[in-house]
Structure 1
Amino acid sequence: MYLLPDRHVSILSTGADLPGDPIDNDTLERYCGPLPDDVLQGIEVRRRHWIVDPETGEHRSGTVAMATAAARQALRRAGMEPGDIELLVVSTASPDHVLPAAGTFVQENLGLERAAVIEVRAGCVGAVQALDTARRLLADGTYRTALVIGAEAISPLLAPVYLGRDPHSVRMRDRLTLYTFGDGAAAMVLRAGEPGSAQATPLREVFATQCLGGKRKPGMLVVGGGTDAPLAEQQRRKRLMEIRLDIPGTAAFGPQVFVAGLHDMLERSGLSMDDIDACVLPEGNAEYFSSEFEASGLTAQDHAALQKSIVENLTDVGATGSAAVPLALDAGWVEGRIRPGDTVLLLAIEASRYLYAGLTLTWEAPAPTVS
C-alpha cells in the first residue's frame, strides 16, 4: 500500500467566548462568604465568568452556546465560513445533554447539514487531546479543515452550594471551589496543506498524554447524573450533582504530574526548556501549584526558563476545564505573547485522575485583524 506523506497542519486562528460580565471576588464574597487573603493569593483567581446568574441561579448561556460563539469568532479571524469546515472535535465534561454529543449541536448552530464530529469527554486535558486528534486526521489526508473546541460550564454545579443560604454558613472548602472555577469556551481553526508544498515540512509536532492516578483516588470527582447508583437513590442526595475535590491530594500530587508531563514532552520533542517561547498552561502561575515544582523534580534552571515562557490567564477566567488551555492560547495570541515562529508547548494538567496531555508546535498565524 502506498502512503502519502503527512500534510503539514496549521492553526489558522483561535476564538473565545466568556459568558456574561466578570464576577470579581468582592461580588462572590457577598453570596458565599470570604476566603482568607492568603488562600485567595494562592489560587490567584480574581475574576471569573459564569453562565449562571450568581444572584438568581438562572442560566444565561450554555456549553453549546459558548462553543458556537467561540467557533464563529475563530472562523471570522481565519476568513472562513462554517461550510468550509469538514471536521469538528469538541472537548467538554459538561455537555448540554448526555446525548447527542455537544459537537452535533454546534454543527447544527453553524448550519452544517453534514460534518464529521468527534467528542472528547474530559476536563483540562481534553482540548489538547482533541487538538492532536484533529491534527492527525488532517495530516493523514482524511480531512482538510477542522474546528477544535474546548468548552466548559461548571457554574451550574456551584450556585446551588450557596443559593438561599446565609453566606457565612457555606463551608470553607466549598468556598474554595466556588472561587476557583469559571465557565468559557475557546476554538481553534486548523487547515492542512498539500504534500510537497512549502509548508509540508513537519515542525516538531509531538504529543504525549498519560494518566498517573491509576492507583490514587480521584483528585476531583463530579458526582451525580451517571450510573454509579440507581436514579431514585441519586435523587435523594442533598444535591443531585456536585463537585468533590481532594484539596490536599491535588496540592501535593498535582505539581508532580505537571513536572512529569513537562519532562516527558521535552524528552519526546528533543527540546530544552530554553527552546520554548510560549508554554501555555491552565494554571501555571498559581502560587500553591508552582511553588512545588522544584520539590517535584524541576531544576531551578528549568523553573526559571518556564517562568519566562508561561502563557496563562487563570487570574481573569478561573479554572475552566476543557476551555482552559485554548482560552490561554487565544489570550496569548491576541495579546501578542505568541507570535509567528514561536515554539509553543501546550501542557494541560487535570486533577480528576491526575492526567496530563502535551503538544508542541511552531506557531504560524499572524496577529488577528478581525475581532
Structure 2
Amino acid sequence: MSDAAFRAVIKGTGSALPKQRVSNSELAQRVDTSDAWITERTGIKYRHIAGPDETTATLAAKAAEQALDAAGMQASDIDLIIVATATPDQTFPASATIVQNILGANGGVAFDVAAVCSGFLYAFSVAESMIRAGSAKNALVIGSETFSRILDWEDRTTCVLFGDGAGAVVLSGETGERGVLATKLHADGQHNQLLYVDGGPSTTGTVGKLRMKGQEVFRHAVTNLADVMAEVLTAADLPASDIDWVVPHQANARIINATVRKLGLSPDKVVLTVDQHANTSAASVPLALDVAVRDGRIKKGDLVVLEAMGGGFTWGASIVRF
C-alpha cells in the first residue's frame, strides 16, 4: 500500500486486573488439584478473581482509562465503544453503554460483541471497518471478562483455567504505514458442544456454567490458529519471518507453543502472559498486548500478529503495524 493509505492505528493500550490474585497453591485449597498438575498441563501459575465490587464493566472502564491516557486523548474524543465479552453485567443493556457512562463519553455508538475468546478480534475488526468507512473517528475496543462468575468450581478440569480481567485499545484513523494491515475471521457452529455455557435467557432462564471438552478444543485450536495466521499473512502479502511479535489468546501455553511451531516462528517472538493471568477470554489478547507495550517489547513500527480462538467455534487473526 502507498503512504497515503487510510488505516485504523492503535494509539494507546490499557489493562485492568481484579485486586485478588490467586495462585495455584491457593486454588488447591478449595479444589482437588495441585500447582504441578495445573502448571504441567497449562502453564498457568496465577489468575485474578473479581470481587463483589468488580464487574466486567468496571474493569473495562479502568482499562479504557489507561488506554485513553496512553493515547493522550479524552473520553469526549471517543465516538465508538465496543466491548467484547461473554460475561456482561446485565443481559441488557450492553456493557459498552455502562462503560460509556462511567467514562462520560455519552452520545456516541456503544455496543457489545459476543464471540467468546475471539471477541476482541471480532470487535477490533468491526471498529477498524467503521473507522475506514468514516463511521467513526476514534474507537475504544475493549475485551473484558469476569469468567469466575460462570465457572463450576467443582469441575477441576475447567475452573483452574480461567481468570478475570480487561484490556483495551484506542483506534484512530490515520494515513501512513502504521495500522491494521489485514484481518481474517472465521466461525464453525457445529462444534457448539465442545465449549459452551449450559444456560441462557432463552433456554434455561439462568446464567449457566462453562462446559468444555479440553482435548477436542486443543486439537481444533492448534490447527485453526496456525491456518488463520498463515491466511492473514498471505492477505497482507508478508512472510512469517517479518513478524516482530505474536500476541496470542492466552488459553494454554501448550496450545500457543504448538501453534508457533507449526508456523516455524521463534518462541522469543511470542508474548506470554497465561502464567500470570490464566485464560481471560476476550480480555486475553488486549491484556497481553498492553503488558508487552508497557514493558517496552512492542515498539512503534513493529509488525504484530494478534490471534485467538474461542467457543462457537470462532477464531481469527489480525496483523498490525504498531
Q: TM-score, normalised by structure 1?
A: 0.80
Find the aligned partners of 2:134 and 2:177 in 1 and give their Cα distance: 15
Q: Equivalent of 2:91, from 93, 98, 123?
A: 98
Instruction: Tell me the CA shift for residue 289 of structure 1.
Output: 5.5
SS of residue in 1 equivalent to 2:235: helix
- Post-superposition Cα deviations, 1:116-157, rounded to whole Å, max 9, x if no partner, equal 113211211111111121112112222211111110111112
Q: Which amino acid aligns with 2:141?
A: V
Instruction: Return the index of the structure with the highest Cα Rg.
Output: 1
The answer (yes or no) to whether the contact 1:208–1:359 under 8 Å persists in 2 is: yes
SS of residue in 2 equivalent to 1:339: coil
Find the aligned partners of 1:7 and 1:254 in 2 and give their Cα distance: 33
Find the aligned partners of 1:288 and 1:251 in 2 and give their Cα distance: 7
Find the aligned partners of 1:292 and 1:207 in 2 and give their Cα distance: 18
- Post-superposition Cα deviations, 1:80-125, rounded to whole Å, max 9, x if no partner, equal 1111111111111100001111101111111233111132112111
Q: Which residue of 2 aligns with 1:221?
A: 196
Instruction: Tell me the CA shift for residue 263 of structure 1.
Output: 1.9
Q: Which residue of 2 aligns with 1:144?
A: 137
- Greater per-residue strand proportion: 2
Q: Which residue of 1 aligns with 2:186?
A: 210
Structure 1 moving runs of 4+ over 6 Å: none
Q: Cα distance 1:272–1:201, how it changes in 2: closer, same or farther (>3 A)?
A: closer
Structure 1, unpaired ranges of 5+? 53-58, 163-169, 194-198, 235-239, 364-371
Residues 1-371 of structure 1 mapped to structure 2, 5 A cutoff? 7-35=6-34, 37-52=36-51, 59-158=52-151, 161-162=152-153, 170=154, 174-193=155-174, 199-201=175-177, 205-211=181-187, 213-229=188-204, 231=205, 241-283=208-250, 286-287=253-254, 290-291=257-258, 298=262, 302-303=263-264, 305-350=265-310, 352-363=311-322
In the alignment of these two chains, the number of paired residues is: 319
Find the aligned partners of 2:305 and 2:259 in 1 and give their Cα distance: 20
Instruction: Tell me the CA shift for residue 9 of structure 1.
Output: 2.4
Find the aligned partners of 2:272 and 2:121 in 1 and give their Cα distance: 15
Find the aligned partners of 2:166 and 2:179 in 1 and give their Cα distance: 27
Instruction: Tell me the CA shift for residue 253 of structure 1.
Output: 2.1
Structure 2, unpaired ranges of 5+? none
Paired-residue identity, %:
28
Q: TM-score, normalised by structure 2?
A: 0.92
Q: Which amino acid aligns with 2:36?
A: D
The answer (yes or no) to whether the contact 1:254–1:354 under 8 Å persists in 2 is: no
Instruction: Tell me the CA shift for residue 214 of structure 1.
Output: 3.7
